[in-house]
Chains A and B, each alone.
Chain A
Amino acid sequence: MTRESFHEHIQELEQDVVGMGQMVITAINRSIEALKAQDLAEAGRIVSGDELINRKRWEIEEQCISLLATQWPVATDLREMIAILNIVTELERMGDYAEGIAKITLLHGNEPLVKPLIDIPIMAQKATSMLGRSLEAFVKRDAKTAEAICGEDDEVDRLHDQVYHDLLTGMIKDPKTITLATYLIWTAHNIERIADRVTNICERVVFLVTGKMPQVSVSKY
């Protein structure tokens, strides 16, 4: 393999990572919609669809291993391979969180929601927006934007605290809601974790661009 085709290969891998990111964003959005609509059939499809995300992760990882073994990349090329390996792991876990929300929807069943879903969809919208932009920053080698995205995690944490507080208050008032409210707390927690994992991607982007591991400790949890 020539150096030129090696670099073309890396660019294709980058596009695969972005494609995988889109799959994850779609899975997160669909999982929230399914919960809102209490669409159990859709939730079932999201659970089984997670396999596609897992498979994509292994495909990308396999290609990275092959390139590492045969092309012996160094410097930026090496950091890029390490970044890709880490990013696909993060994406795969985010896919699991979406699957987790779909499973919560199945557990929740057709019982009425203990409160209208307002903040949770906003959290999801913020987290997926952060994710999309973090992958853009990865492709554009934009460390500054990546660092800025990390700061947005605070807002997701704040919304999480609010949801948690509201649901806890509801449970104290009416202990019969505890089971269903707990499901919603888990959902909010999953989204909060997704946003945290976006910050891990952003750290990888900074590492890719600068060669330095940023000390971005953003999560309260």
Chain B
Amino acid sequence: MDDVTPKIETVNLNLHYGGFQALKDVCLKIPSRHVTALIGPSGCGKSTLLRSLNRMNDLIDQCRMAGRILVDGQDVLDPVTDLIALRRKVGMVFQRPNVFDLSIYNNLRFGLRIHGMLRKRSHILETIQSGLEQVGLWGALKDKLHKNARTLTLEQQQRLCIARVLILKPDVVLLDEPCSALDPIATLRIEELLGVLTQDYTLVIVTHNMQQAARASDYTGFMYLGQLIEFGQTPQIFTNPQEKLTENYISGHFG
């Protein structure tokens, strides 16, 4: 970790939903161009932490954050932060594929449009092709771009959602349980995709599936009751965790 530049760093991050403290002094350095997994029992704060990184929690009433979240050294909790630009730079993929009831083409065009990235039609098509290629869908869908996206398999829909994020040229992609709606084979294929994407992107994944964290990530953070208990290289966390709580959780003793 020491030899890798952090893409994102949280410094004493505290987050309250009203009177409930969901994150407690979280200090975390997310290495650039690697997969970082956040694991922990339900309600431990891992999704909250993930959503903080591009300030999606701002959409929740009574959410207050204190501390610092540095993305490329810039504190995104600064009130002057351009949230639209932040969410383009730090994109997000959700649990269930949330494709719009539109064609595949328009699903992808939509993001380009709202981010003012629409130019010539040929350029749009090029961008869409590159997005679909990155997620391994171009071959299957190139002749079906005007088909409704909801007719795709769940795996294809989730890949499309990832493509929709990628064509906005983010640096970081946050993934909140991206495989929970998928079967094991589709899950493995999405994990393989994550590995390929680290050539160009920094990925942070929240997962309930420890096997997935172990298999698909380079770094793992274990969270419990709003605290980051342990963070380290994934093989170290799964062979020799330094904290008893981590050991108990990954061995299935609680959670």
Chain A interface helix/strand/loop/mixed? helix
B-side contacts of A72, CB under 8 Å? 211, 214-215
B-side contacts of A210, CB under 8 Å? none
Is residue A48 contacting chain B, with contact meaning CB distance below 8 A? Answer: no
- Within B182-231, which residues are at the interface with A (CB < 8 Å)? 188, 191-192, 195-196, 211, 214-216
Whether the pair B192, A70 counts as a contact (CB closer than 8 A) is: no
Chain B interface helix/strand/loop/mixed? helix
Is residue A1 contacting chain B, with contact meaning CB distance below 8 A? Answer: yes
Among the 9-residue stretches B68-76, B142-150, B165-173, B232-240, the one with 4 or more Cβ atoms under 8 Å from chain A is B232-240
Task: Quote the shortest CB–CB distance from B190 to chain A (angstroms).
Answer: 11
Task: Quote the shortest CB–CB distance from B193 to chain A (angstroms).
Answer: 9
Neighbour of A71 across the interface among B192, B195, B196, B214, CB < 8 A: B214
Neighbour of A66 across the interface among B192, B215, B235, CB < 8 A: B235
Tally of A-B residue pairs with Cβ under 8 A? 28
| Chain B interface category by residue count | 10 to 19
Whether the pair A2, B192 counts as a contact (CB closer than 8 A) is: yes
Mask of A1-31 contacts with B, CB within 8 angstroms, 1/0: 1111100000000000000000000000000
Whether the pair B238, A69 counts as a contact (CB closer than 8 A) is: yes
Residues of A within 8 A of B (CB-CB), count: 11
B-side contacts of A71, CB under 8 Å? 214-215
A-side contacts of B195, CB under 8 Å? 1-2, 5
Whether the pair B238, A3 counts as a contact (CB closer than 8 A) is: no
Whether the pair B239, A66 counts as a contact (CB closer than 8 A) is: yes
| A63 (CB) vs chain B CBs: closest residue | B235
A-side contacts of B214, CB under 8 Å? 69-72
Whether the pair B211, A1 counts as a contact (CB closer than 8 A) is: no
Q: Quick one: which of B188, B216, B234, B235 has the most chain A CB within 10 A? A: B235
Whether the pair A69, B239 counts as a contact (CB closer than 8 A) is: yes
A-side contacts of B239, CB under 8 Å? 65-66, 69
CA distance A71 to B188 in the complex (A): 11
Mask of B57-75 contacts with A, CB within 8 angstroms, 1/0: 0000000000000000000
| A70 (CB) vs chain B CBs: closest residue | B214
What are some 15 contacts across the A-B interface (CB < 8 A)?
A1-B215, A1-B216, A2-B192, A2-B195, A3-B188, A3-B192, A5-B195, A66-B239, A69-B239, A70-B214, A70-B215, A70-B234, A70-B235, A71-B215, A72-B214
Mark B residues whose CB is within 8 Å of A: 188, 191-192, 195-196, 211, 214-216, 234-235, 238-239
Mark A residues whose CB is within 8 Å of B: 1-5, 65-66, 69-72
